[in-house]
Amino acid sequence: MKDENIKLLDYIKSTAIFLSSKEGVGDFSVECTRLCGWLKTLDAQFKKSSGIDQGERLFMVYNRQVSMIGTDCLAVPEKFKELAACAAGLGFSVLLTIGIISFFREFSQVQALCDEGMLSSLEIVADRLDELAAQTPVEDFIKKLVDLRRPMSIVGHVDELKRHGFLSSPALNAADITFYPKDFAQERYERPAPLTPVRPCSGRMQICVSIDGYIYPCLGLMGFPEQAIGSVVGRDETFDLEGYQPGISALLNHGPEIDAEGPFDCTVELPWMCKRHRGELLKKLQADGSSASMYQNRPDFHS
């Protein structure tokens, strides 16, 4: 990466890695060693960009996070532990995002990772609460959550969380746990634009690595290979931020150029502006004669 380009890494401190195990191999679809090598390269570039490697701006080393996201990322526990240890060793906090059923089934592994200091926090997508309640008493599950003693967010439908006693649990209310409401309905969004529909992306920009190794500048653009800024796999293992169109600087400082009027199709749970941006990309694909179905629901957090 060119020296004049990497200054933009000051604004992109967080990384999200989507993980999927590769059947019969005992590894992720993008090998763990490759992901670890890429993280080390990213860390070195960030420290050069911020001046940390010269003993300057040492405060920049704080609040860097690697989010590991996947429905079966714990299916290869040793590889997950290796990747988490690599991230933690580089000074990143490590967040695991996982569906509630996968979390329940792999709880012993999550507990071991917490005990060994590999996980800083957890995000649980609570979209299958009826299935959970059929497998274990919810009160016992809540006790397990609290006993982990980790900052945690639970993302789910308010009515479902209330019905299963999550919102009325004294133990959860006293713990370091935040609830985020989420609507899982797949629908056509025809909502009016906010008063300020376009805002700078600097507050939500992060590097996202898809399960096939493509690198994207934000979550809303995942799944569109033409929007990728590089790849963990192959020759282009870093990325060129300045060469990206429509331009990382423009997105950071001004936000995307979008049409704030009329309906749009997007079934991914994202902020309004990101949904609009993604919806317009889908619309352009359809206008060009490409199939948009493969992009419609990505990224997917469901377990």
**Residue 185's pLDDT is what?**
47
Q: What is the domain count for the chain?
A: 1
- Confirm whether 249 is domain-assigned: no
- 141: tokens are 């599950």
Task: Say how far apart CA 223 and CA 121 lie, in whole Å.
Answer: 26
> Is 150 within 8 Å of 119 (Cβ atoms)?
yes
Least reliable range by pLDDT among 74-83, 148-157, 281-290: 281-290
Structural domain that includes position 46: 6-191+200-240
Identify whether 260 is part of a domain. Answer: no
Res 303: pLDDT: 35
pLDDT of res. 223 = 78
Residue 287 placed within a domain: no
> 289 φ, ψ to 5°?
85, 10
Q: Indicate the pLDDT class of residue 129, thresholds 50, 70 and 90.
A: very high
Say how far apart CA 177 and CA 149 lie, in whole Å: 10
In three-state secondary structure terms, 58 is helix
Q: Encode pLDDT of 30-51 as tens digits.
A: 999 999 999 998 888 888 877 7
136 pLDDT higher than 90: yes
* Residue at 254 is within a domain: no
Give the pLDDT score at 12.
Answer: 74
Domain assignment of residue 220, yes or no: yes
Q: pLDDT over 90 for what percent of the chain?
A: 40
DSSP per-residue string spanning 199-265: --GGGT--EEE-TTSEEESSGGGTT-GGG--EESSSS--SB-STTSSS-HHHHHHT------SS-B-
Residue 99 CA, chain-centre distance (Å), reads 13
Q: Provide the pLDDT confidence category of residue 297 given band limits of 50, 70 and 90.
A: very low
Q: Within a domain: residue 299? A: no
> How many CA atoms within 13 Å lie on the side-chain side of 142?
19
Asked if residue 235 belongs to a domain, the reply is yes
Greatest mean pLDDT among 48-52, 242-246, 286-290? 48-52
User: 150 pLDDT exceeds 60?
Assistant: yes
The HSE-up count of residue 59 (CA atoms within 13 Å, CB side) is 1
Checking 23-32 for CB contacts under 8 A at 24+ apart, the result is: 26/76, 26/79, 27/76, 27/79, 28/73, 28/76, 28/79, 28/83, 28/211, 29/211, 29/212, 29/213, 30/209, 30/211, 30/212, 30/213, 30/232, 30/233, 32/76, 32/79, 32/82, 32/83
User: What pLDDT is stored for residue 54 in this prediction?
Assistant: 72
Could you report the per-residue pLDDT of 45-98, keeping only the tens digit for each? 888 877 777 777 666 677 789 999 988 889 899 999 999 999 999 989 999 999
**Average pLDDT for residues 183-193, to the nearest whole number?**
52
Q: Which of 187, 190, 193 is nearest to 263 (CA)?
A: 190
Return the pLDDT at 7. Answer: 59
The overall average pLDDT reported for the chain is 79
248 has pLDDT over 50? yes
Ranking 102-106, 136-140, 191-195 by mean pLDDT, the lowest is 191-195
Are 138 and 165 a contacting pair, CB within 8 Å?
Answer: yes
Residue 152 placed within a domain: yes
